[in-house]
């Protein structure tokens, strides 16, 4: 379920309208998604060992969609004993004005997350079920790390870590 959660969250970006024509998102002040601009372009790859030790390869693509008003994330993981896909749309929730991710997995799971901090890409899960926190941090111009934690007895406990490298700019 955690793997599906991570997959679901990460797949959000495609370009349309004038933003697509220019390959850029609207100006930062007009778009709270501007922090994702460095992730646009190419395919991001993570290779890691699964719980059973088998190799897992994850490919993720971020793209602007609907004139740069939303970010689309698509992810596919293969290896281990199964493969999975993830799709997410990030945008501003009109009722809360918060940057929100609506995520879906190939296993039929759905997840919702809301940006938790103005500085940095830190998101918290919304709704029933366990509370997750996901932090995305750039480690270089073509690398980033994604850390997922779960809240247990009031404390954040590590639940997953992936390092991604852009392989096709």
pLDDT at 169: 65
Closest CA to 109 of 125, 91, 94: 125
| Gap between the Cα atoms of 87 and 8, Å rounded | 5
For the entire predicted model, the pTM comes to: 0.77
Q: Which two tokens stand for residue 63?
A: 């793209």
Q: Which two tokens stand for residue 162?
A: 């992936």
Higher pLDDT residue, 165 or 12? 165
Contact predicate 119/96, CB 8 Å:
no
Mind listing the pLDDT tens digit for each residue in 115-163? Answer: 886 666 888 887 777 889 999 999 999 999 999 999 999 899 999 899 9
Domains of the chain: 2-166 (2.40.128.20)
Contact predicate 121/136, CB 8 Å:
yes
């Amino acid at each position: 379920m955690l793997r599906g959660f991570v997959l679901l969250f990460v797949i959000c970006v495609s370009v349309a309208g004038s933003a697509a024509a220019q390959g850029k998102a609207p100006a930062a002040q007009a778009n709270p998604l501007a922090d994702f601009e460095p992730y646009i372009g190419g395919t991001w790859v993570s290779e890691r060992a699964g719980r059973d030790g088998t190799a897992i390869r994850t490919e993720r693509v971020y793209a602007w969609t609907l004139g740069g008003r939303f970010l689309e994330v698509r992810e596919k993981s293969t290896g281990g004993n199964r493969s999975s896909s993830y799709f997410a749309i990030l945008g501003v929730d009109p009722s809360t004005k918060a940057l929100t991710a609506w995520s879906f997995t190939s296993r039929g799971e759905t997840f919702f997350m809301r940006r938790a901090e103005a500085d940095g890409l830190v998101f918290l899960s919304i709704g029933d079920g366990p509370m997750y926190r996901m932090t995305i941090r750039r480690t270089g111009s073509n690398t980033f790390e994604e850390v997922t934690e779960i809240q247990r007895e009031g404390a954040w406990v590590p639940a997953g870590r992936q390092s991604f490298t852009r392989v096709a700019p």
